[in-house]
Amino acid sequence: MEKKRLEMKVGLFVFVGLALLAILMIQFSKGTSIYRGTYKLHLHAENVGGIKQRAAVLLAGVQVGTVSGVRIAPDGKSVTIDLQLYKDTPPIYHDAQFVIESAGFLGDQYVSINPTANTEPKLADGADVPCLPPFNMQKVARDAGGFIQRIDETAKKLDAAATDLRKEVLNEQTLASFGTSITNMKLFTEQALDTVQDIKTVVNTNGDQVKLAVSNAVYFSSQLIKLSESAQAVLATNSVNLNQATKDLADTTAIFKQLATNVQAGHGLAGALLQNEELATNMESIAANLSVTSSNLNRRGLWGILWSHKPDKPKPTNAPLTTFPTPTRK
């Protein structure tokens, strides 16, 4: 009987010790305490990396909960992470950022909560929150591998381009031509230096003449300026007379134009001569006779003409006298 009681006492002691050990393990492990109230949040991310259940949830580096579960979303395109946070944690607002990070380079992953402006409303129990995926080292390595491959291909292309350049451009003929061009450039530079030296010598030798030419050019320019000023003054002083002379010239031109119009219309003596052909013929005869008379006067004189021709007696004739028509004015 005593042995049975002893076994019961030993068993009870072992049970109490195991219970206390379990409580201590839960208390100091990553799990939640049985003495603290909790509430849940549901995070949605495209990829959770290697985060596991009972991973820590840190707010400003302090653990405020754990990951209670990780499951695939019903749409099959994302992952839902269930968080179990302590109720005594400071309130978390809807603008806070949830990120999956790693402790060190190869450490355990955890959920980090990064507050921002802390604008209302607060996250309630069971709220759905977006979460940024963790840093994927393998993806970066794959991208880096592709980048390195592209760099390698680019280097091969550059090597091929350099080979073609050396083959097509840097051949013996091109290098010889380039050397000839350098030599010609050197000769041209030497000739240019000699020319500059000659110009400098000419300038130094004929400095006085150059100064005199420049002085004459300056003086000529000043005289031109004075002449232009004088012309402007004359125009400004006699502008009224010039305007009147221009007006008189225009009036004279109009008068000559009117005279030409009247002559063409047959007005006046000149117009009658132009319009009457018989009168014009008589005028031409008179002009011819005057020409002959003036020629005889110049050759014989007036007394020679009078004594060389005696007047004849007029013969009676019954011919009628010729009369010239009287010009009519239109």
Share of the chain above pLDDT 90, in %: 0
Look at residue 330 in the predicted model and tell me its pLDDT. 42
Give the range with max mean pLDDT: 3-12, 45-54, 141-150, 188-197: 188-197
Report the distance separating Cα 33 and Cα 51, nearest Å: 21
Instruction: Please name which of 152, 162, 131 lies closest in space to residue 49, comparing C-alpha atoms.
Output: 131
Give the pLDDT of residue 106: 64
Any idea where the domains of the chain sit in the sequence?
A: 30-135, 238-292
Element (H, E) at 229: helix 207-237
Q: What per-residue confidence (pLDDT) applies to 245?
A: 83
List, in order, residues 6 or more apart from 33 with CB less than 8 Å away: 26, 27
Model pLDDT, residue 26: 65
Confidence tier at 272 by pLDDT (50, 70, 90) = low
Q: Is the pLDDT of residue 282 over 70?
A: yes
Dist. CA 201–CA 199, nearest whole Å: 5
Spatial contact of 32 and 38, defined as CB atoms under 8 Å apart: yes
Q: How far apart are CA 76 and CA 87, in angstroms?
A: 31
Three-state SS for 29?
Answer: coil
Closest CA to 130 of 183, 89, 58, 81: 81
Q: What is the pLDDT of residue 137?
A: 63
Averaged pLDDT for residues 63-69: 87
Neighbours of 46 (CB within 10 A): 12
pLDDT at residue 328 is higher than 60: no
The residue-averaged pLDDT of 21-32 equals: 63
The confidence band for 327, taking pLDDT boundaries of 50, 70 and 90, is very low
- Alpha-carbon span 44 to 176, nearest angstrom: 71
**pLDDT (0 to 100) of residue 36:** 67
pLDDT of residue 113: 87
31 pLDDT exceeds 70? Answer: no
Q: Which residues fall within 8 angstroms of residue 283, CB to CB, at 6 or more apart?
A: 273
Rg (CA), the chain: 65
Confidence band for 302, pLDDT divided at 50, 70 and 90:
low
**Confidence band, pLDDT 50/70/90 cuts, at residue 329:** very low
> Is the CB of residue 58 less than 8 Å from the CB of residue 113?
yes
Residue 215 has pLDDT above 70, yes or no: yes
**What is the reported pLDDT for 97?**
86
Is the previous residue joined to 327 through a cis bond, with omega within 30 degrees of 0? no
